[in-house]
Amino acid sequence: MTHLWLRAEQRDNETRTGLTPEGAAALIATGMKVSVEDSDSRVIPTAAYAQAGCEIVPAHSWPDAPHDAVIFGLKELPEDGTPLPHVHIMFGHAYKGQSSGRTLLERFKAGGGTLLDLEYLTDDTGRRVAAFGYWAGFAGAAVSVKCRIAQLRGETCGPVQPYPDAEALKSALAEDLAQVDAGQDRALVIGALGRVGRGASDLCEALGIPVTGWDMPETAHGGPFPEILKHAYFFNCILAGPETPAFVRPDAPKAERALRVIGDIACDPDSAFNPVQVYDRATTWAEPALRVHDAPPLDVMAIDNLPSMLPRESSEDFAGQLLPTLRALPEAGNPVWQGARELFDQHVAEV
């Protein structure tokens, strides 16, 4: 019997989940066992999982889970250096040269466990089977607009919080925008045809911000890209790789520019492939804007768990996309899970 163990997230401001009670009930109906850690912060109450037939276990008890349990979460594990003997389904951020990635892989190697990275669960066309992309783009654009509003008030953006739903977020932003003079602000979105780019574009268009949408044809020449500097907003919405060109080069802050806010929604500042070369660390909910130049201001927004700003919508969307793949977890040789295992084996062998 396959045993899926949904862990409680331990990161601040992380209230999302990758499995709803309805999804858990569907897995149980196929013969799986589903254990759910109690959590006061998860957007869906623990009681709803109990009603769906899940076993409820103490928060953060996954290290003591049966060895054959598959531990399922979204964000990072505690960085305590302990070996990891279980199979983990999560966003590992370990395959693109991230500074913490090697440490995580070393922990898996020491414990004999396996990372099945959610970012690399792909179908036979190479498309991800589940992603938070749309809501990451939507929320990332929203925080970037907040950064711009703060600039126009002579300030730097203060702390941000979750919203009940997308309509509440749009309404609050529209009210704040009406109180400042945003002039002819326009946005350029790279990755406009993907889920992240669509989310960012939809938020901008809902607020009346004109969008220039770019995708692979517009960036194929490899740069430079002076058009980016002619827009008040630049949104990086692509998954960077070794062939990705630099979109914003280190000299951009001092150049003549209309650019005021960079929303690096992809947010890989410590990756060797980072195409936004004016910053080196993620921003936070408490300090969402990193000011990289003062006059005129240029802020980078690079929060790496943006969908948590709309936790219920993003959780239900992601969980619905992922559920068919979770159902296939017991299948020996399932191509999606097998591909993730092979990728892990390739990278852990290099540690």
Q: Which residues are catalytic?
A: 75, 93
Spatial contact of 170 and 141, defined as CB atoms under 8 Å apart: no
CB 229 within 8 A of CB 258: yes
Q: Left, alpha or beta for 334 (phi > 0: left; psi -120 to 50: alpha)?
A: beta
Instruction: Enter the tokens of residue 332.
Output: 């020996």
Distances (CA, A) of 72 to 3, 118, 215, 322: 10, 10, 33, 12
In whole angstroms, what is the distance from residue 232 CA to residue 144 CA? 10
Handedness of CA 272, 273, 274, 275 (dihedral sign): positive
CB neighbour list of residue 234: distance below 8 Å, 6 or more residues apart: 187, 188, 190, 228, 247, 248, 259, 261, 262, 263
In which residue are the tokens 């589940």 written? 130
Task: With CA atoms as reference, report the closest residue to 13 among 307, 260, 223.
Answer: 307
